[in-house]
Structure 1
Amino acid sequence: MRLRALLDTEALGLRLLGGEGELERSVRGVMTTDLRDPSRYLNGGELVLTGLAWRRGPADSEPFVRILVRSGVAALAAGEAELGEVPEDLVAACARHRLPLFAVNESVAFATVTEHVVRQVSGERAGDLAAVVDRHRRMMTSGPVGGGPDVVLDLLGSDLDLRAWVLSPTGRLVAGAKSAGPDLPAEVRTRLAAERLAAARAERPAPHRVTVGTTAYSLFPVHGGGRAPRAGRDVRETVLSDWLLAVEADAGDWPGERLDLLYGVTQLIAVERERRDAARTVRRRLAQEVLELVQSGAPPAEIAARLRVAAPVLLPGVGAAPHWQVVVARVEWADGARGEPGPAARRLLEEILVDPSPAGRARSGVPAGPDHGDRIAVAHSGEEAVALVPLPSVGGEHDGSGTDVQADTLLEAVREPLTAGLDGDGRITLGVSAAVHSAEGLRGALEEARHARRVAAARPGRVCAAGHQELASHVLLLPFVPDDVRRAFTARLLDPLRDYDRRHRAELIPTLEAFLDCDGSWTRCAARLHLHVNTLRYRVGRIEQLTGRDLARLEDKLDFFLALRMS
């Protein structure tokens, strides 16, 4: 271990008195002494602990420090219990000989410091490390009650004093030990994920060592199935999907036994990754079936039947049929990566959609109960991934709870690490449809999402997304826009009004047509419809409320005009 790690360990309460530039020195042992000449017991690289009983006067400090330096010790830690503070003559002697000096608070026992150092560096614990791995393996295979990455990380903390976290490729916190203290801040997780992806793309050997602020981390990849990529395999096939184990320590000087332990832990965590991946099989199959039906032009009744099967799986306990959104993603490499890109895009889209809201991405842990990712069904078709996202509905209407996937926030928290993973020669583009309430609208939603992705692909940048809001009415007039996109645009604007008219006989559609024909004149429109102006104002207000549009705005008037003409 390095001296800086000792200083960063709050439980030891060490205070640096000198040697700021020497904190990268390695510590290979620990010794407690009050002998005036302890050289016969020193082999070099030790942290020497002393209670200062050898010091009878200021003149004793210089020879004592000189002996330590000749013996090659890493640093000196002096207790404050005997004299109340570390004498200035000892501080000066250590400064002259560039020997790092720590003060040990009287409330901290030397045994505490010794035990911590021994746990970190002693080769005598090599046999214990194998036992730790075996305990981890039993925990991970003991079933859903006793297993999981959190248990493994707790054992790393209790057995080896290592704070560790499991992160997704986008920096999402997958697991963290309860004993690790405060969770990693979002900005630190993002930085670690970005560094890991960049190192993997450059094919630098693991563990990857990163310093954030003054804290050192070592990053170990968690490969799918626990196996490293095969020789000759393009790293781009998995770089955007592998998890990582982040350990708050510099593993540069670790012995082989400790590195083997951490690699063993990554293999155990990979087992959990595979379990979670297998749990998505049903959702993937449902999405694949729906996608194939939609693309083959199957009757809406057949698609609706399949959606009714998917709804209770993705939103258990929801009585009414949900609304749906479609998200399309594509991963492209400049020179064309080997392998089929669709599955890679599917895994990445599943990760991005775990919780697409900024508040959710900023959370420091996996939420209790099913997370947003348990509501996502992702299929792949050719080079693209297609996600079917259910939205809760009440009484057959979207509940407006703000759960819609928004293109402008979808990539907000993942852009930095994904850009590092693409490393200048790849792109990720996504398109998001509007919400649809029936099987009839699903084909249009798919085409709308695909067209939005093409809009995103036309923009600069490595990671881009576009939503249905950006398919402006003037774009819809272009001849290359598919008919399904036009129908989706029309349905999104007019279906709420048609549904309301069907239930309440409110004649909102005829009112809208007349209002536009009269160029927005309240008096002329009321006269044409034989209504009082206040009744007309009420109907127009209801139209604006149901659609979220403002009929005083030219853009919204134009959209309604086009929707009515295309209906």
Structure 2
Amino acid sequence: MIYTPAEPSPPALRLASTGTLTYGLSVGEVLGVSTLAGARLIAGASGLDRIVQRLNVMEVPDILAWVKPHELLLTTGYPLRNTPQSLGRLVTDLDERGLAALAIKLGRYLDELPVEMIEQADRLGFPLILLPNDVGFDDILNQVLTDILNRQAAILARTEEVHRALVQIVLGGGGLQDVIDEVATLFDVAVIAVDGDRRMLAGAGPEEHVKAVCAAWVDGPGWSAAQPGFGGNGDHVVVPVVAGGFDHGRIIAYSASGALRETDVGILERAATVAALVITKQQAVAAVESKYRADFLRDILAGRAGADDRVIAHCAGFGWDLDRPVAVAVAELDSDGRSGGTAETRLGRTDRVPEPRTEDGRAKGGEERQAQDRLAAAWTAAVRRRDPKAAVASFAHEVVAVVGLSGDGDLDGLVRDATTMFGEHPGRRRTFSTGVSRVVACPTALPEAYEQAVKSVRVGRQLHGFGSLAHFNELGVYRLLSLVADAAELHAFVRETLGELAGDDDPEAVDLRRTLQVLLETNLNVAETARRLHFHYNTLRYRIGKLERMLGAFTEDAHLRLNLTLALHVLRMRGI
């Protein structure tokens, strides 16, 4: 049959099996050039969209060592004249090596092609082309190679033109929305830019089409398939936005009419490069602003920011409202505790905090930094949702929020929101603990409130474990114990008061200590204690006698009972 292109030139760019873009002419376009006007496609019609990037001439039977992907292989049949029985295998080998097509001149050395060869080409979609006898290989080589080079030059020129226009937008101070507007205008399609968390950063094009692409690729199940590539029906192109080794999201172009071509992928990749430049610039500016805000909030919490009027006025410029009743919330990542810890200076006070380690003992600085950034992002989003005028900043090892509220219950909801948002991120499962201060009425009281929140984090984690939420007002006696700065003195008090029961090495001592704790909790109610511990009454009486021989007559001495209760509280506050 004679092949005649039924449509204007089809796309001349494809995604190869390696995922890279290949520029050239399709086999269908090659058949449409003037020198091949009399050529016939005799097999492999389903492969007409294969891309031809180069041409080669077959002069020897063992051609496989010399062929390359995307080649149009020309032959007179001379190398095939003595091996007609292996021509079917030849088609398979050429197809496996990624060749575009095989064009043959018959008559002089080979009268016809074996049926097996034609059938195999049809099965593989590998085009077999019968060349006219009056066409020279040099004419085919010259015209096809010229068309390929012209096509590549045109695509590259348009890509460079688009890139130059987008760069001018950035140099003129334009943002990501301006870049997306320009891309949508150039392609006359809907375009959106999304980050890695499915949030749309910018969008342009017909409103109904923007909604359609969001529904399909952001809100819908299509997101899992939003990998770089070209939609087979020409309705979408997805390219990654990458800068500095970080994946910042995707640019997705969508055409309801299927007007997009694979050639648009390369142009959109240039747009993605410019978008990455805009995003990194915005991130750099945001980082500077964030540091400035964090430094000022640090000064407020350290009592170095000045009088209330100055603090309130300065915070108004950040959009913060501290001229109202507020509470301080401090959130800290929970560590796996595999190392001894490193010194951390928190607003002038030095504490010991665990330094995360990998399984082989090395510090996980990069992973910890990412986790801290995710915690800051989760808290910022949660705080902005509940109180847009709150102050929130990320310090080295904690996130601090100064939130206006009518009661502690509001902050409980805030912590739940932050926990949910933090848990949505992929990666190693992490938790954080939160401490909340009392409500204060003026900025001058914020340093004390901050210290209350820090103590609440520390005590809450020691009492309730990772992921705890503790309010300073609810710490009770633990609040007083946390005020003792000398931990060694506390431990000495425990040893002097509990004696042999202070350690965890002896299981019997631990068991007796548990009995003592329940006795004190029940106000020496023997029957209730026996019920809770599932002991016989006489067994408990025996244990009480043994405890008094070890500790003294605590059943008769109220002061001794108080000391024992405090010592048990200190033991519960591990690490203080």
Q: Which has the larger radius of gyration?
A: 2
TM-score bracket, shorter-length normalisation: 0.3 to 0.5
TM-score normalised per structure 2: 0.43
TM-score normalised per structure 1: 0.43
The structure showing larger relative contact order (alpha-carbon pairs under 8 Å, at least 6 residues apart) is: 1
